[in-house]
Amino acid sequence: MKNLFKLLFLGLFVFTLLLFSCKKQKKMNTTKNPLLEEIYDTPGGVPPFDKIKLSDYLPAFKQAIKLHNQEIDKIINNPDEPSFKNTIVALDQSGAILSNVSNIFFNLNEAATSPQMQKIAQQVSPLLSEHSDRIYMNPKLFARVKAVYDKRGQLHLSEQDSMLLQKTYEAFARNGALLPEDKKKELMDINKQLSVLSLKFGEHVLAEINRYKLVIDNKKDLAGLPPSLIQAAAEMANKTGDSGKWVFTIQKPMLIPFLTYSKRRDLREQIFKAYITQGDHNDSLDNKAIVNQIVNLRLKKARLLGYKTWADFRLVDRMAKTPQNVYDLLNQVWAKALPAAKKEAERLQQMIYAQGDTFKLQPWDWWYYSEKVRQSEYNLDENELRPYFKLENVLEKGVFYTANRLYGLTFRKADDIPVYNPDVVAYRVYQGNDSLMAILYYDFYPRQSKRSGAWTTVFRGEYYKNGKRIPPVVSIVCNFTKPTKDMPSLLTLEEVRTLFHETGHALHEILTNVPYRSLSGTNVALDFVELPSQIMEEWAVSPEVMKVYARNYKTGEIIPQQLIDKIENAKYFNQGFATVEYMAAAYLDMDWHTITQEKKYDVNAFEKAAMDKIGLIPQIVVRYRSTYFQHAFSGGYSAGYYVYLWADVLVQDAFDYFRQNGLFNPEIAAKFRHLLESGGAVDPMKLYIQFRGRKPSVEPLLRARGFIK
């Protein structure tokens, strides 16, 4: 009986515990998801990174989609006649919470991913694709948009209102609103497939980067490598379980210095080939089949929408307008760049022979022997420069100084703002000392959860709500060498340019002052978006600015004029290689996206034919081969990698204007600021002509690269 009472008591206790647990769980389930806010209750209204859990994302996406659908239904069911305000503006203002959730998740999936996040991405990408399609292919919603568009001539709209109306209508048309129902379903299926394939492509590249390591266990094999790189390799070895050895990866901050300084030619070849064969090993991470699927699906989509090729579809709303215009620019510059690259190859071959070697120059030799030539002919050693490029100095005394001189911005470190990784640093950006313009994050260092490269993105773009400007939340992500216990992060000259470049994108977001979210910041033509970033690189290498930020990290000594002169004298050095390597990728991207036939392509054969057609010399490999060309196949630059060259035409022409009248001329800076403030609210060529007083010329670019006198 005692045992029976014990069992009954125990059963009652367990039941009570379960009941309490269920009530508690029910209460917990009603806790508000921290992602579901338009403006977050945090300092600066930034995402609450310290509160977000992985389990929050999927419910947040589903709820945000539901909320957006309710907003769309409200627009459709509005009994009033369609107007600019109740239809076009209402559409622009809708989906703010979904935009926030998407920005947070996909930005972190790039910068701080995990297998769980990648799995969530594979689940939500088709949902988002389907959600977008249902909006753009909704006949009732499009009828309202078209009703406003058809009477646009009678509405007396402002320039930016007209631009919003134009872009809204075109977005519907370009996303299938004009298609019959059966074709809409076909387009939706294509979009779903493309969203998943693009994700897989990027995941494969990241996995390839993370699985390769060059392990060195003999100190003699480190010959020629700078101490900072050796130390970084030792620390990498500790992380990979190879303590006591040195581990090198194919992340660019390790790869390029290794190729530049390692005396072990066989090891240079090994690591270089590991880099250029990413996604091309006929295994689970191979990307060739994905490339095939993507280019064929894109062609099918373009044809559904009435375009001959994917490039025709993509270029219609850019400055270039047509594939032929892109090829015309590429061909014009290629005709000057290729002969320069050939001369450089001959000079490197001479250096090889001069050192008593007899082998022919190979791609993995280029960095090593070009550094030899630079030291020999210009007496300029990259390692001589790096002590003057301490990351913190370049940022605060270079980037921030330039932004302040040009636009009156000040940057204050914000330790109270939540960040998504301990390496991330947050700043409040002010106009002068009082008006908050933006929150800006910098995420500087490589990690296994971050993709390679450097990029700028937003967690929230600028817009107006109830007449008040909502400041943007901007993020800059890089992959610079991480400081060690004995050495700060010292940048190469190219990395200095990268930091200025990405901050140029950020300034485009920070300074934007337009009321509409879809026109703010970098929501501009893709071949215009690189102008604000690339022009900042010109200030980075200007002696006037360099003398402010370039200080020896040990002594505080300002960079000597002798080194500045060396940099200036060597500015045309290796420009043939840099231009040809990049342009080869731009040609490859265009060739993939001007195909007119759906079929199974031999990816490597297609690539070889593309390079043979332009006469790429064997000593140079295209910057991005197809199987790891993320710009083209998992980023937003398909049929668009050419934009860096197009933008540099604008950049060199624009910077000539500053150069001739003063690098910080307040009148010219104010005109350039207007260009940045306008976002996508004004036609980009009109903006450029307003700034410069005429259309751009290609000659300054050819001069800047040393191709013409």
- Residue 548 is encoded by which pair of tokens? 């402010």
Which helix (H) or strand (E) segment is 126 a member of? helix 115-136
DSSP 8-state secondary structure symbol assigned to residue 440: E
Give burial (CB, 10 Å; 0-12/13-18/19+) of 24.
Answer: exposed
Residue among 423, 428, 403, 409 nearest 46 (CA) = 428
- Examine the residue annotation and report whether 502 is marked as an active-site residue of this protein: yes
Dihedrals φ, ψ of 54, to 5°? -55, -35
CA dist 258 and 458 (Å) reads 33
**CA distance linking residue 674 with residue 667, whole number of Å:** 11
Across 567-601, b (16+ Cβ under 10 Å) vs e yields beebeebbbbbbbbbbbbbbbbbbbbbbbeeeeeb
List alpha helices for 240-322, DSSP H.
252-261, 265-276, 288-304, 310-315
Residues paired with 61 in a beta bridge:
none
> How far apart, in whole angstroms, are the C-alpha atoms of residue 177 and residue 139?
7
Q: Where are the beta strands (DSSP E) in 26-83?
A: none
Opening angle at CA 542, ends 538 and 547, nearest 5: 140
| Residue of 110, 344, 495, 502 with catalytic role | 502
Cα torsion 431, 434, 440, 445: sign: positive
Q: Tokens 């990408």 sit at which residue?
A: 125
* DSSP label of 553: T
Residues marked as catalytic: 502
